[in-house]
Each structure stands twice: as C-alpha cells, then as structure tokens.
A and B are shown apart, each in its own frame.
Chain A
Amino acid sequence: MTAISAKGLSKYYDNVKAVDNLNLEVPENAVFGFLGPNGAGKTTTVKLFTGFAHPTAGEAWVAGEKVGDGNLALKAKIGLLPDVPAFYDWMSGRDSLHFVGELHGLAPAEINKRTEELLELVELKKHGNRRTGGYSRGMRQRLGIAQALMNRPPVLFLDEPTSALDPLGHRDVLNLILRLRENTTIFMSSHNLSDIERVCDMVGIVNKGKLITVSPVDALQKKYARSIFEMEFLEDAGQFVESLRKISWLAEPAVTAVNGTPVITVRAIDIKRARKELPRLIGESGLTLARYEMMLPNIEDIFAEIITNGDKQ
C-alpha cells in the first residue's frame, strides 16, 4: 500500500519553481528521507502534502486522502512537526497536548491517557507542568513530535526535525524516530545527511525543486559503491602489497597507517573480478586477516555526486 503519492505535483511562486513536477510514491511504514540543500523545495513539498500550500499543478494523496485546501479528513490522518515547532507560551506542555487532543475531537479520558503516554515517550513527563515558554529548543522539538502523534496518525511529516538541536537533543530525536517507525509512515525532510543515513529506509534527493532520484538507502550505496577495498593483517603485509602491484585488474595498492595500524587499500579496475578473486589471493598469501571491507560511500558522498553530476542511470 502507498501512504504518500504525488503525480506531477508542482508549486511555482512567480517565476520560481519551488516544486517542479514531483512524482513520488512512499510505501506504508517506510521512513522516507527527503534530502536536499537549502532552498531545494523540501519545506514547500511538506506544505503541499499537508494542505498548507495550493499546488500550481498536479495531485497528491496522503493516507488515502486527496490533498487539498480545507480537507479536514486529511488533517485527522496526519501529524506534522514544522521546522520550528511553536506553542502558546502560557500553556504547560501537558496543557498543550490536552489542547491538541481537543482539536482532534478525542474524548476527555482518551486525551488524558494519550497525553501521559506521549509525555512518557518524549521523556518530558518531569517537565509536563512547566510553561512551554521556558522549554529549551530540544524540549520544544520533542513536544512537537508528541503533539504530532496525539491522533496516532498513519502518516507523520517531520520538517527538519533535528535542525538547531544540540548533540544530545539531536540524538534523542533520532532515537525517537527510530522507535516510531514500526507503525507509522514517516516523511522526513532534512539537509542533514547523516540523519537520513541513520534512520531512513528510502531517500529522495531533491535539488532546485526537482526530484533527482528515489531509492532505498542501501541500494543507493551499492549503486554508488566505490571500487576500493580495505584490508588489515596481523603480520607485515609488505610482500603481499608488492604482489598486488603485478595484477592487471587491480591498481594503486598502498599502505597507510590508521591509528598506528597499517591499512592496505587497493582500487579495483574490474570490480566483479576483484570481489571474486581478492579473497582467494588473501587466502593464498598465508597472512592472518584482521579486516576486509569493500568501501561503501556514505550518503554525503552520494549526495555530493548526485547534486553535482546528476543521477547515474
């Protein structure tokens, strides 16, 4: 089942194409990372999906509801954490969640139960009676996630959920997202590449309003795999490195010291052959292997390559 879909979705502001012909399908219970540099159109896309912006062209559906201005059935099925979550300063955290429960039309008993559950989930129970005006940015972010979950939404939109957080707050919010993934589809926009790599199953890379690629994170890593192998041995591997120099399908074998440990790197000219033959050569060398790894690029490398050169076909 598809939780979020868009067909030719576009939003133009005068001559600026904030979102340009977006075609996208996000399956249920996926954590979808929407990645792009600042000004790429991420927040506008979230606004379009949550009914806060009217599309110039195209259509979108979220949780089976057609996205459109004033579709309250859509808002009953989504949760939204804006990039800067804001609360009425005079309300306490607990009051804020009560208020959100009332807006969702929940019964008073259900509101009380859900409020306590959510305060527990976001670790704000101790601070529940404090005014939100005195909350730190991290606490506001966590309360923002709690209010977005009040109605147990099938689809949750998180717009830059870790922006401007200190390292501890950052870690807490990511852990919270990991806990939510079991029964919620999460659409998370971010320009923080390591966040996407850590919590997302799928990633869409957007630049200048255009969606460049959509792929599972691991498939993207394989697609952009570098042809570099790293090895560590318990013994001196000088002779083995020399023997690698004579092999035609390998190039640039080198020894570098990482934290005092010699690490051998070699680039494969024929990657398929290297994957098959290199372990055999290591076995024949008689050396004791401590580590053997084909280097996968991190999402930052892939992002830089895609933004600069476009997607590989």
Chain B
Amino acid sequence: MKGFAPLFRKEMLEQFKLYRFVIVCAIFLFFALSSPLTLKYLPNILKMAGEQNMIIQMPTPTAFMSLSEFAGNIGQIGALMAVLMAMGGIANELKSGTAIMTLSKPVSRSAFVISKLLAVSITFLISMTAASLVCLGYTVWLIQGTAVWPYVGMNLLTGLFLVFCLAVTLLFSSHTRARWQPAGWPSA
C-alpha cells in the first residue's frame, strides 16, 4: 500500500474542502432532531390536521421508539447518501484524468482505492456517531427513559451497513467513467 498516507491525507482534506463532511453531518443531525420531535408531537399534529371527531389511537412515545426510528431513518437515508457520495469517487477521477496523474506516481492502486473508502467511511461514521449522540440526548430530554444498549447495537449495525454500501458503490465506480452509473443510472 505504497503512498497510502499522502493519499489518505488528501482524501480527508477533500471531505472538508468539498463540504462533504458538513453535508453528511447536517443531514444526519436533521434526522437526529426530527425523529424524537416527530414522535413526541405526532398526536398533536394529527389532531390539528384531522377532524375534531376523529379518534386516533397512538401508543405512548418511548425512548426506544424514538431511537429505533432514528436508526431506521439513518439506515435508509444513509444508504442513499452513501451511494450519492461514493458513486463518483473513482469514476470522476478516471473521467477527469486526475487518477492518471496520481497513479503515474509510485503509489499502489490499492492505496488509491482504500484511502477513498476509509476517508468517506470516516465522514459517515463520525457524522452518524455525532447524530446518534444528539438523538439520544434529545430523546432523553424530550421523552425521558433510555434504551442505550439496544441503541448502540442498532447504530453499530447501521454503521457497518453504510460502510458496506460505500464499498460496493466505490467498487462499481471503479468500473465506469459515468458518474451516475454506479448508482444504477444507465449510461448514455
């Protein structure tokens, strides 16, 4: 893996320079705040929107419901974001020619690919961890009660799933020069 250190530094820097870190973090934080909020106030929202005579049976919101809803949202939205973020990872570099410039230096191809996967995975995992902690804190404050260990387990599995999505998308990205093709979009 010759050349891994400078490639990884460059990839991490790119996560910040191109606002990828900020974007992923902001979207995850949105779901971290909206999940407990929606759960807590959904009966009120429905009451305000529906007819006065309508009877809606809603279970009492619990911390477990809030946290599992967040984990579910992150699993779905995170997977979509993972595809969007990673689909051009290698394809863009092949198309623009930066891959040739980099790989004409004494660096291994595995270092080139793994540095990308690691940097984008770190972006997702840090954002997810931050959002999970925010969601946990907000849930405790808003709904009370905790379900820490099942929540940790859910997040670990979701994180693993997101890294898997990133790896698969990067793999497809290395086999095409069309940015959207790794996301399942047919080439022209």
Contacts and interface: CB of A to CB of B under 8 A. Distances in A.
A88 B106 contact: no
23 contacts: A50-B104, A72-B2, A73-B106, A75-B104, A75-B106, A79-B104, A80-B104, A82-B97, A85-B97, A86-B98, A86-B100, A86-B101, A87-B98, A88-B98, A90-B14, A90-B17, A99-B10, A102-B5, A103-B7, A104-B106, A105-B3, A105-B106, A144-B101
A104 B101 contact: no
Contacts, number: 61
A78 B108 contact: no
A70 interface: yes
B98 A100 contact: no
Interface of B: 2-3, 5-7, 9-10, 14, 17-18, 96-98, 100-109
Contact of A70 (B18, B96, B108): B108
A82 B101 CA distance: 8
Contacts of B102: 103
Given A52-B103, A80-B100, A80-B101, 13 more contacts: A52-B104, A72-B106, A73-B106, A75-B106, A80-B104, A82-B100, A85-B101, A86-B101, A88-B10, A88-B98, A90-B17, A102-B9, A147-B101
- 9 tightest Cβ-Cβ pairs between the two chains A and B: A86-B97, A102-B6, A103-B105, A80-B104, A72-B106, A76-B106, A75-B106, A90-B17, A86-B98
Contacts of B9: 102
Interface residues of A, number: 25
Nearest to B104: A80
Nearest to B111: A103
A75 B10 CA distance: 20
Given A72-B2, A90-B18, A103 B97 contact: no
